[in-house]
Amino acid sequence: MSTDVLICGAGRTPFGRSEAAGRQLAVAAVNAALADAGIAWPRVRAAFGGSDSAGLADTLVAQLGLTGLPFVNVKNGCATGGSALISAVNAIRSGMADVVLAVGFDKHPRGAFDPRPEDWGLGAEYGSDGLMVTTQFFGMKIQRYMLDHGITPRTLALVAEKAYRNGGLTPEAWRREPVSAAEILESGMVSDPLTRFMFCSPGAGAAALVLCSPEAARAMDGTPVTLRSAAVRTRRFGSFEVFSPWIPGGTLTSVSRDASAAAFEEAGLGPGDVDVCQLQDTESGAEVMHMAECGFCEDGEQERLIASGATAIGGTLPVNTDGGCIANGEPIGASGLRQVYEVVQQLRGRAGERQVPDRPRIGFTHVYGAPGVSACTVLSR
Amino acid sequence: MTTDPRSPAAGGLQGARCSGCSVTVYPADDTCPRCGGPADPAALQGTGTLWTWTVQRYAPKSPPYQAPPGGFEPFALGYVELAEGVRVAAVLDVEDLDAVRIGMPLSVTAGPGVPRARPTPLSEEGS
């Protein structure tokens, strides 16, 4: 069986709008993670990191220190952080290095992303006719899901209401004011059935982790968390993804289902063992569907679970305890590592006002993005 | 060799079908995305039902979006599930955005831009 990998340091910056450059945010997050682990930069023997649109991670050595370590750039869309993490895990397991950094950062302009059709292998007409808009995909996926599984708009509003409530308990979150379900429903339709306050916004931020072999961790003072597994998958035939001119008929496949199942299998645990989780919530509908795709409930059970408060911090399955993407915004490269940062704090019992009660032992993270990539981790203390 | 989906029969949807695994795709492609085998051109009927939809409520960023001469107006879009078993993304040319429903019968045609779908006249539905 593979070697255990321990997370000895975790750091993040506030997310939102920032005067600082994306690279400056990255340096701040790395320094926070190093301080958390109680080590200095020269102790790091390899690094993996990336951003979608805020520069090259390997250039951070100019600020961190020119120690000569191997530093690999990762560019994997919304899964950038997750892919950097898995690369770091493999570097430790292969014996390449015993102390490894994973860092993700980004800084995006206001408004929705504006991808170019030619980058996606699509004709120019998909851009000129207005179909290169990510929010359309999110609206269409949950629209069908609501009909098939009896999910109501009020449930979508409750997901966002919880996100803003948890954001208010998270000092580094962007959206920290409570917003009621009624206000969320009335905030203006963006892409039916999703309203403005149900969406996260592209923003700025950075997160970093220091990962160690068991031997290296023993020489450090902090409180390590064990990374029981980390899995990344790309879509199989039959999935429904953003910017698809067509999708196959029949039952949909899900890359999140595949990645989460692989992570649970590698960890030797199941969704029922999880005490706290982070699920990709680009918008309210994504959190609802990912609850089922990651195995935490059957399709349609979300309607009852969410209304009953099961996914709140004091519930049976707390989801997105830091407010998720909806309250933190989405710096693409940083999101996946922010999720791991949050679960690490929860498992250490250091999550402050948003701490899940009764000392959670097992945590789970799930990131999902275009064009059908998902990375999942299982963590334990 | 790639087939231009807009060049064949006026208004017809030119897709492709894999002889190995019977997967139908749109637009036409040389290879099957499931098995990687060769795919043959196939004319799609273009009639089907709405599988899912949304409304684009705000003007997309320009470029790449080009607003029509009269300026941006909210428009519906969705996936139309065709008899051939493929769901095709299309702009929905409907009179009333509030009347769009999953399951409504639609006819999809190819033109100078992305596919467009219009409500199928009752006489063509066989009802």
Lowest mean pLDDT among A28-37, A79-88, A318-327, B17-26: B17-26
Region of residue A99 (phi > 0: left; psi between -120 and 50: alpha; otherwise: beta): beta
pLDDT by residue (tens digit) across B28-70? Answer: 889 998 899 999 999 998 999 999 999 999 999 888 999 999 9
Note whether residue A152 is domain-resident: no
Q: Say if residue B90 is in the same domain as residue B111.
A: yes
Note whether residue B62 is domain-resident: yes
For B38, other C-beta atoms within 10 Å of its C-beta total 12
Which residue, among B13, B30, B57, B62, would best test binding to A if mutated, counting the most A CBs under 10 Å from its CB?
A: B57
Which residues of chain B are within 8 Å of residue A189 when distances are taken between CB atoms?
55, 57
How is chain B split among helix, strand and coil, in percent rounded to 5? 5, 40, 55
How many Å apart are CA A58 and CA A67, to the nearest integer? 12
Which residues of chain A are within 8 Å of residue B60 when distances are taken between CB atoms?
112, 114, 130, 132-133
Note whether residue A115 is domain-resident: no
Q: Is A118 at the interface with chain B, CB within 8 A?
A: no
Q: What's residue A160's pLDDT? A: 98
Note whether residue B58 is domain-resident: yes
Nearest residue on chain B to A137, alpha-carbon basis: B54
Which residues of chain B are within 8 Å of residue A117 when distances are taken between CB atoms?
64
Q: What's residue B21's pLDDT? A: 86
CATH number at residue A337: 3.40.47.10
Q: Say if residue B110 is in the same domain as residue B55.
A: yes
Inter-chain touch B53–A133, beta carbons under 8 Å: no
Option in A127, A190, A249 nearest B87 (CB): A249
Note whether residue A98 is domain-resident: yes
In this predicted complex, what is the ipTM?
0.92
Q: Say if residue B26 is in the same domain as residue B71.
A: no
Terminal CA-to-CA distance of chain B, rounded, Å?
41
Q: Say if residue B90 is in the same domain as residue B54.
A: yes
Q: Say if residue B86 is in the same domain as residue B62.
A: yes
Q: What is the model's pTM? A: 0.94
Site of tokens 């089907």: B48
Q: Say if residue B40 is in the same domain as residue B80.
A: no
Note whether residue B104 is domain-resident: yes
Q: Say if residue B105 is in the same domain as residue B61.
A: yes
Option in A127, A190, A244 nearest B64 (CB): A127
Q: Is A307 at the interface with chain B, CB within 8 A?
A: no
Note whether residue A120 is domain-resident: no
Note whether residue A148 is domain-resident: no
Q: Say if residue B58 is in the same domain as residue B114.
A: yes
- Residue B115 belongs to domain spanning: 47-119
Inter-chain touch A244–B89, beta carbons under 8 Å: yes
Note whether residue B83 is domain-resident: yes
Q: Is A242 at the interface with chain B, CB within 8 A?
A: no
Note whether residue A279 is domain-resident: yes
% of chain A beyond a pLDDT of 70: 99
pLDDT by residue (tens digit) across A7-64? Answer: 999 999 999 999 999 999 999 999 999 999 999 999 999 999 999 999 999 999 999 9
Inter-chain touch B25–A190, beta carbons under 8 Å: no
Q: Say if residue B38 is in the same domain as residue B91.
A: no
Q: Say if residue B63 is in the same domain as residue B103.
A: yes
Site of tokens 């979150």: A173
Note whether residue A188 is domain-resident: no
**Residue A332 pLDDT exceeds 80:** yes
Option in B57, B61, B88 nearest A246 (CB): B88
Q: Is A191 at the interface with chain B, CB within 8 A?
A: yes
Average pLDDT taken over every residue of chain A: 95
CATH number at residue B105: 2.40.50.840
**Residue B4 pLDDT exceeds 90:** no
Inter-chain touch B112–A112, beta carbons under 8 Å: no
Count up the domains in chain A and report the number.
1
Inter-chain touch B54–A117, beta carbons under 8 Å: no
pLDDT by residue (tens digit) across B60-104? Answer: 988 899 999 999 999 999 999 999 889 999 999 999 999 999 999
Site of tokens 């590698």: A266
- Residue A44 belongs to domain spanning: 5-110+200-380
Q: Say if residue B52 is in the same domain as residue B108.
A: yes
**Residue A313 pLDDT exceeds 60:** yes
Note whether residue B5 is domain-resident: no
Q: Say if residue B52 is in the same domain as residue B72.
A: yes
Note whether residue B69 is domain-resident: yes
pLDDT by residue (tens digit) across A70-90? Answer: 999 999 888 899 999 999 999
How many Å apart are CA A82 and CA A85, to the nearest integer? 5
% of chain A beyond a pLDDT of 90: 93
Note whether residue A337 is domain-resident: yes
SS3 B2: coil
Q: What's residue B79's pLDDT? A: 98
Chain B residues contacting A, CB < 8 Å?
23, 25-27, 33-34, 51-58, 60-61, 63-66, 75, 77-79, 81, 85-89, 91, 102, 112-114
Q: What DSSP string describes B27-77?
A: S--SB-TTT--BEEEEEE--EEEEEEEEEE-SPPPTTT----TT----EEE
Note whether residue B23 is domain-resident: yes
Q: What's residue A373's pLDDT? A: 93
Count up the domains in chain B and report the number.
2
